[in-house]
Structure 1
């Protein structure tokens, strides 16, 4: 994969400043020989850039595999902040967004999603041993402690809905900052996805991940790939390729294994339409 994207760091940077000069339906860009601009944030293991800017993480692996199945290999990675993903798509600076984005009603009001590529729960990173027993939002609220979360993540709204005061919700730019807040004691827990929590607990001494099953099923969400509303035909073709023998296949599972995606993350029969209406 690395050779395919070698040297694209510079073009990705240019894409961020090119504005909407090349904006328009994705099919028109492809017909004109332009690359598909793949937008994602640095949020391992979902999506993150490699040392040469190549798109890594299981959401990117799935997206690239499906695009290749559709016959598209001219891809330009564009790395941006998490909070800038949807604005970049709507402004025409990118064509497709990954990053592990939950299909939520408020997002569906602005962009369109593919059918789900996985389902995921919520967990917390806490000091080793979880001395305060912070494995649910209710426990965090009742303890009166501060929880850290990534600005723009669904965890912020979840904490608010659980009754945690805004001044007890530390909104930070990314996962690295959430980890730092918990390590330093500025936050008692970090609310993130169960995959991210497990990944951080494996890589950082003194940090544990809580069990996602401590929270009810209502805290599970479905992840999709984001498309501009004008690209309905392309999104429909993407869905067809995704569901035509790829999703859950041996080839897919082998490609995502190194990024902690497991069989229990495969989506059930929940549709993007249902998730938009119920999440």
Structure 2
């Protein structure tokens, strides 16, 4: 009798958890539609996701997010700015509802959050002092010289450097890119790693640094490393994730999409092609 009762309690608990899970998946989508408002998270990284001096969303990801969310009936898109490494914890903690920071889709991150299909693909680059005095034109130069490479906390570049075989003593983790530029100019690091678009954007803001050119394409274990960025959602928000992805499918690579992202340096040359989050998460 005890065993039967115990099985009944366990079954009831499992049903309750499942019911709660199903309810939770619809809650965020229903809530934002009812309220007409949503909050997105960015890391203030130009040109991926940042805010204007007036606090308005700007960059590739926020611009697309506003369009897609408007299509879903949500007209008021608020923005929370946080460090890149705090985006996933902030999403899971409920500080915002969508990560709109151009975050690369990786298997490790896929274990923590849901990703939309990618909206762009891009390669890597270095920011160096003017004239590139140490001739740092790729990860192989970092590995072969006594130099320091700066990477942003929580970024894929940390993993790239490690997987490329660069010693941990050569890697300096920084909270954000402004800190990285400051570290570069002060001599604390010799190169700052990031996507080529971000590094090019940073170089335009300070005449003491430049984008390392030419740059040797990053290869790890015989594979070309190219990042694909998308939007992040809480694992329970399957309804919001599905609705967002559905709208995204009909928008990416259209004339409207390309006209929207071209001012940020994106375009046909950064098209994700037929790549999906499912493939990238494997």
Which TM-score bucket, shorter chain as reference? 0.7 to 0.9
Q: Structure 1: give runs of 5+ residues left out of the alignment.
A: 1-22
Do structure 1's residue 59 and structure 2's residue 52 form an aligned pair? Answer: no
- Whole-angstrom CA distance in 1 between matches of 2:266 and 2:215: 15
CA shift, 1:89, in A, is 1.0
Do structure 1's residue 131 and structure 2's residue 133 form an aligned pair? Answer: yes
Q: Is the 8 A contact 2:36 2:74 kept in 1?
A: no
Partner of residue 214, structure 1: 217
Q: Which runs of 4+ in 1 moved over 4 A?
A: none
Partner of residue 240, structure 1: 246
- Whole-angstrom CA distance in 2 between matches of 1:213 and 1:148: 17
1:129-168 mapped onto 2 (5 Å cutoff)? 129-168=131-170
CA shift, 1:131, in A, is 2.8
Do structure 1's residue 50 and structure 2's residue 52 form an aligned pair? Answer: yes
Q: Is the 8 A contact 1:172 1:178 kept in 2?
A: yes
Partner of residue 33, structure 1: 35
| Larger Rg over CA atoms | 2
Q: Structure 2: give runs of 5+ residues left out of the alignment.
A: 1-23
Secondary structure of 1:224's counterpart equals: strand
Tell which deviates more after alignment, 98-107 or 157-166: 157-166
Indicate which of 51, 69, 83 corresponds to 1:81. Answer: 83
- Whole-angstrom CA distance in 2 between matches of 1:112 and 1:231: 8
Q: Which structure's residues are more often strand, by fraction?
A: 2
- Whole-angstrom CA distance in 1 between matches of 2:67 and 2:268: 18
TM-score, normalised to structure 2's length? 0.85
Aligned pairs, how many?
254
C-alpha RMSD over aligned residues:
1.7
Partner of residue 98, structure 1: 100
- Whole-angstrom CA distance in 1 between matches of 2:256 and 2:233: 24
Residues 31, 258 of structure 1: alpha-carbon distance in 2 compared, 3 angstrom cutoff: closer
Tell which deviates more after alignment, 249-258 or 220-229: 249-258
